[in-house]
Amino acid sequence: MIQLKKIVLFLVVSFSIGLNAQNTFKNWPDIIRKNESSWFGSEEAKKIAENVLLYQRNIGGWPKNIQMQHELTPAQKKDLTALKNTAVEATTDNGATCQEMLFMSKMYAQVKDERYKESFLKGINYLLEAQYANGGWPQFYPLKKGYYTHITYNDDSMVNILSVMRQISEESDFYSIKPSKEVVKKCKKAFEKGIDCILKTQYKQNGVLTAWCAQHDEVTLLPANARAFELASLSGYESAKIVLLLMSIEKPSRDIVTAVKSAEAWFEKTKITNLEEKRVLNGEGKIIDKKMIPATNAGPIWARFMDLETNEPFFCDRDGIKKKSIDQIGSERRNGYSWYSDAPKEVLKKYSAWAIKNGTKVSSADKKNVTLITVAQDGSGDFTKIQDAVYACPAFPYEKVTISIKNGIYNEKVRIPEWNTNVVLQGESKEKTIITFDDNFSKINLGRNSTFYTYTVLVEGDDFSASNLTIKNASGDNGQGIALSIVSNRAKVSNCNILGNQDTLYLSGKEAKQYFVNCYIEGTTDFVFGSATALFENCEIYSIKNSYVTAASTPEGIQFGFVFKNCKLTAEASVNAVYLGRPWRVYAKTVFLNCELGKHIKPEGWENWSKPEAEKKTFYAEYNCTGEGFQPSKRVSWSHQLKKAEAEKYTLDNILKDEFSNWYSK
């Protein structure tokens, strides 16, 4: 009896093992990902592996949409053998190649057949060879004419490849096959280039980073069309996996953090919560119709295709004509394509924890009203870096958000983006709270416009203010190097030191108005320049060498340009030949009222920058100034000495007032 029980038990266990060794999945991707590891040692798996080896082209890639578990006829095997040298249809689309490599890895873990290892390694070489120099991957390689050459995010193609590159470069245990150190190094470089490509292709909408398109031109990196019904657009689906990949990177760079934060803001902005998809099925469970029905507080979904400029969802038939709703296209495309997705939900779900971990959000930021963030280098505040505090600021807040900065030297570039309005940078003391960086034109080396990338602090958000700070470009007298760049409206800077050499302070914006009070500004050439309307009151303007103080580029028709009131112009002892200004653009306007001008100011005062027409179009003027440098009778003939009635229009209200009234007095 005991022996009989042992036999029965043995049969039961054997039967259970047999069941576990049987593949129960019908679809090829499911067979790879869902089977237990032990199944890959079964005879069934070995038989399928022969098919997978046969489908692989000698170049290393596989074709897509093949159910490789299906038994092949002798004729099919013969045809596949003939195709191996052709590289026909080798691709990474729809998971191809990446998933077959995973299959080979799982096979090799159970069965040490060297053919499996060789197949996997050929797959790696294929992916490495297929990568563009800019870091992207085409849909097909060797290149296939048409949209297939575009950098392809569609159906997660590039994300899948980068996941392979990452596992290999990190030498993780995800794959059972271990490539050589040389290959590992190549994969690491390929991953880094791929991430760089992702960052460069993130779409800017009116200057604001948003998300990605399903495909981007392989040369220009701009959004590109694919099939007739797949027009260039922002993608709710493909962008989600890209962001999740970026969020998975340990110690992300500043650019990665910006990319993720910008994409998350875009997902929040574009989510749809008033529609639900209703599917009509036939008796066999096949979709015969799709409808979008109104709903209240529905779970968020995102359109697969959104207009590049407006974010409005659109839909296309094979005629390529945009339609505003899914019911306006024919049943074939309506039912045979995924037009909506909830994939970005995973990004929104994980974002808060990611943001706190990576220093982009204060732990209390789940509160809707963040109005005070503290930066301290000793770790006693919310952050140790100013830029991280900026990342934590809510977009377009209703109230001022004060970033209180404790004393310290903060060696960093700080950018306050357009969506971070109402930001206040408040230092503990002007002398000891110092933001400094050392970029200059030659160091940046980004072409003819390199100057504008050299900033230490860049302000793009409206209604900005700063106080009790030193902002410095520490590159020295080595060409253009901006300390503070303000390209926004209604910016107020008080009790600050702004230090640099050439191009210290850049103020821009045709309609922008900016206010500096009780500040110290120093530089060499054109160290106050730009197109904004800016008022300087009770400021010291210090010249380090003989050159030009201002270089205004006031647009035509603007009433005021740069206005200096009750300011003091001083200089180093050796300086003795400084112009008040020269016109960067011919309609430049610069006026000094009630200012004390040191002896370093040249008697002629102004220079035309080799632009004779500027003598007729600029407006350079002074009123009631004092000091050895004030020599009105020796000024160039095309400048002006204002009369009292003319000077009276240069009031605080007249210069700075706009629809927001007296913003400058707050």
How far is it, in rounded angstroms, from Cα 566 to Cα 587? 24
Q: How far is CA 664 from CA 57, 281, 402, 650, in A?
A: 69, 63, 17, 15
pTM of the model: 0.56
Q: Is 89 helix (H, G, I), strand (E, B) or coil?
A: coil
Q: Which helix (H) or strand (E) holds 494?
A: strand 491-494
Instruction: Give the SS3 label for residue 497.
Output: strand
The CA-CA-CA angle for residues 442, 448, 450, to 5°, reads: 50
Q: Is 652 in a helix, a strand, or coil?
A: helix
Beta-sheet strands, E only, within 201-269 = 204-205, 208-209, 215-216
**Class at the top of the CATH hierarchy for domain 545-571+581-666:** mainly beta
Identify the three-state secondary structure at position 665.
helix
Nearest by Cα to 396 from 414, 375, 419, 415: 419
545-571+581-666 shares the fold of 372-523: yes
Q: Give me the mean pLDDT over the 117-121 stretch.
A: 98
Cα–Cα distance for residue pair 390/254, rounded to 1 Å: 12
**β-bridge mates for residue 163, sequence order:** none
Reported confidence tier of residue 663, pLDDT bands at 50, 70, 90:
confident
Average confidence (pLDDT) over 47-53? 97
> Residue 621: beta bridge partners?
591, 640
Q: Which of 562, 637, 636 is nearest to 606 (CA)?
A: 636
Please name the fold of domain 372-523. Pectate Lyase C-like (2.160.20)
Distance CA 449, CA 456 (A): 16
Q: How many whole angstroms separate alpha carbon 632 and alpha carbon 651?
A: 22
The string of pLDDT tens digits covering residues 433-464 is 999 999 999 998 889 999 999 999 999 999 99
The closest of 307, 298, 308, 243 to 275, measured between CA atoms, is 298
Determine the pLDDT at residue 660.
Answer: 62
Cβ atoms 344, 244 nearer than 8 A: no
Which sequence spans correspond to the domains of the chain? 21-201, 204-210+225-361, 372-523, 545-571+581-666
More confident residue, 255 or 2: 255
Q: Which residue has the tokens 């929040």?
A: 268
Mean pLDDT for the stretch of residues 109-116: 97
| Secondary structure (3-state) at 625 | coil
DSSP calls for 197-214: HHHHHSPEETTEE---BS
Fold of 204-210+225-361: Glycosyltransferase (1.50.10)
Catalytic, 79? Answer no
Counting Cα atoms < 13 Å in the Cβ hemisphere of 13 gives 6
Point out the catalytic residue in the list 289, 503, 653, 658.
503
Q: What is the predicted pLDDT for the residue at 664?
A: 84
Q: Is 342 an annotated catalytic residue?
A: no
Query: How many Å apart are CA 333 and CA 287, to the nearest integer?
Result: 12
- β-pairing, 287-294 vs 275-281, is antiparallel
Residue type, 245: L
Q: Is it the case that residue 1 has pLDDT exceeding 60?
A: no
Largest distance between two CA atoms of the chain: 127
pLDDT band at 6 (very low <50, low <70, confident <90, very high): very low
pLDDT exceeds cutoff 80 at 5: no
Helix axes 43-55, 98-110, angle to 10 degrees: 140
**Are 28 and 68 contacting, i.e. CB atoms less than 8 angstroms apart?**
yes
For the chain, the C-alpha Rg in angstroms (whole number) is 32
Confidence of residue 21 (pLDDT cuts 50, 70, 90): low
Whether omega for the bond prior to residue 138 falls within 30 degrees of 0, making it cis, is: no
Quote the pLDDT of residue 360: 61
Architecture of the domain whose range is 21-201? Alpha/alpha barrel (1.50)
Assess contact for 151 and 217: CB atoms under 8 A.
yes
Per-residue pLDDT of 284-308, as tens digits, reads 777 778 888 888 778 899 999 999 9
Q: How far apart are CA 204 and CA 538, in angstroms?
A: 39
185-243: per-residue pLDDT in tens? 999 999 999 999 999 999 999 888 999 999 999 999 999 999 999 999 999 999 999 99
Please calculate the CA angle 386-389-390 and round it to the nearest 5 degrees.
Answer: 90
Give the range among 326-340, 531-545, 625-639 with minimum mean pLDDT: 326-340
DSSP 632: G
Looking at residue 177, its amino acid is: I
Measure CA 151 to chain center: 18
Contact assessment for residue 210 and residue 142, using Cβ atoms and an 8 Å cutoff = no
Three-state DSSP at 70 gives coil
Identified catalytic residue from 319, 438, 526, 658: 526
Give the confidence band of 384 by pLDDT, cuts at 50, 70, 90. confident
Look up residue 103 and give its amino acid: F
Provide the pairing of β-strand 204-205 with 208-209: antiparallel
CA distance linking residue 91 with residue 127, whole number of Å: 9
Question: Across-strand partners of 152?
Answer: 215
Task: State the DSSP string of 266-329.
Answer: HHHHH-B-SEEEEEEE-TTS-EEEEEEEE-SSPPPBEES-B-TTT--B-EE-TT--EESSGGGS
Q: Are 57 and 90 in contact (CB under 8 A)?
A: yes
Q: What's the confidence (pLDDT) of residue 571?
A: 97
- Give the Å distances, CA to CA, from 47 to 51, 52, 102: 7, 9, 16
- The angle that helices 254-270 and 181-201 make with each other, rounded to 10 degrees, is 50
Share of the chain above pLDDT 70, in %: 95
| CA distances in angstroms from 293 to 104, 275, 326, 349, listed in the order given | 45, 6, 11, 25
